[in-house]
Amino acid sequence: MVRGTAAAAALVSLLAVPAHAAPREPGVRPSAASAGALPAPDVAGLWDVLRAARRQGAPGAMARLDDRDTVHWAATGVADRGTRRPISNADRFRIGSVTKIFSAVVLLQLADERKLKLDAPVNRYLPGLLPDDRITVRHVLSHRSGLHDYTNEMFARTVPGFEAVRTKVFTHRQLVNRSLSKPRTTGPGGAYSYSNTNFVVAGMLIEKLTGHSVRTEYQNRIIDPLRLRDTFYVHPRTTIPGRHARGYLTPDTAGAALVDSTEQTVSWAQSAGAVISSTRDLNTFLSALLGGRLTSPAQLAQMQRWVPAGGSQAYGLGLRRRDLSCGVSVYGHTGAVQGYYTYAFASKDGRRSLAALANTSNNSTVLNSMLGTLESAFCGKEAKPRRGSALGEMYEDVAPGIPVVPDRN
């Protein structure tokens, strides 16, 4: 069913098909665990959330929900403001900090292979990199290293900051050095303090321990085994391969026009946020991870050793847990990169997964609204109205110390 065919900008599609009627997702085998007590998803509510994000300034928004034997698609608005092409779940996009799960999975696989110990100092593997030998791999992957997030200064002014790094290519060490020029936020093993620096260090660990690039390790360990046909790590190339949604950055100045931020190196993020994917591939990835197909049970359990992360969140090793209004917890990550905001979460057993995108960023109202995709997907009609704001949970993927811009409409 397609609604709103009179104008591409108003296109909304909402489909639900039995899995046997659609191509079976390659590389995914259902977990033996049951989705059990999860409420039925509210697909109409999911559509309403995406329409709200459009009203609040997103050119387009979309979501895909995989629920055991059923797949739901929803999409509204445009992928390209110039051509007015409707956005679609076939579009690829930049997933921002959802990349951190990819990096964590590679390191946990290396732990399975006995090439890495989570409680060993980072400096054992990267001698002299960090100023404190007490900072461990576990501290880095759980954002408890105390390493300052260099993106706070980099993006203190949203558009000028972005334009200054849009085509630059950084080394990992250059990014870490930016962090080390600032005081640490906590001692090693202290309270959770989100920092992209941690996952730049994770990328350095991957490359040192394997002798290969981050791209090669993502490809060989995750992308190829799961047959993720829309997932790429193209750094430092600036373009998104194939059909994709363009991204639009909201300026700090009220009323200023959105900035097309699609083409960029994302070198400022790399192993902390430079992967490209699709809603289909993100659901496949999370279902495989939580279904136990990417790591040993022991390492998956390590990934889910939670520390408080503010509000209704906890953080493990590269993995977020969000506790929803109906009492259900979901597992995944948010992802912000200039022009794109992503939710990618799944049930504990991976049998229900949701990936959603708004093709704008730096708009706090849109970011908060998109949380409703999780409520609709996992709480269904049992979702309770949210009180207050969860901004601290919403936008920390980029420059966690810098407020984002409220709705301009």
- So which residues are the catalytic ones? 97
Identify the residue whose tokens are 């995989």.
66
Residues in Cβ contact with 144 at an 8 Å cutoff, skipping those fewer than 6 apart:
138, 186, 188, 189, 190, 191, 192, 193, 307
Indicate the length of the chain as a whole number: 409
pLDDT digits (tens, 9 = 90+) for 217-240: 999 999 999 999 999 999 999 999
Torsion of CA 121, 123, 126, 131, to 10 degrees: 130
Does residue 66 contact residue 25 with C-beta atoms inside 8 Å? Answer: yes
Of the candidates 241, 223, 201, 218, the residue with the CA atom closest to the CA atom of residue 94: 241
Domain boundaries, the chain: 89-347
How far apart, in whole angstroms, are the C-alpha atoms of residue 108 and residue 391?
30
End-to-end CA distance of the chain: 30
Written as tens digits, the pLDDT of the chain (409 aa) is 223 322 333 333 344 433 323 333 333 333 333 345 899 999 999 999 999 999 999 999 999 999 998 999 999 999 999 999 999 999 999 999 999 999 999 999 999 999 999 999 999 999 999 999 999 999 999 999 999 999 999 999 999 999 999 999 999 999 999 999 999 999 999 999 999 999 999 999 999 999 999 999 999 999 999 999 999 999 999 999 999 999 999 999 988 999 999 999 999 999 999 999 999 999 999 999 999 999 999 999 999 999 999 999 999 999 999 999 999 999 999 999 999 999 999 999 999 999 999 999 999 999 999 999 999 999 999 998 765 444 444 467 888 877 655 554 4
Q: Mind listing the pLDDT tens digit for each residue in 59-116? A: 999 999 999 989 999 999 999 999 999 999 999 999 999 999 999 999 999 999 999 9
**What are the C-alpha distances in Å from 225 to residues 31, 99, 255, 355?**
17, 17, 46, 20
Distances (CA, A) of 113 to 82, 179, 206: 49, 30, 13
CATH of domain 89-347: 3.40.710.10
What is the rounded distance in angstroms from the CA atom of residue 318 to the CA atom of residue 140?
9
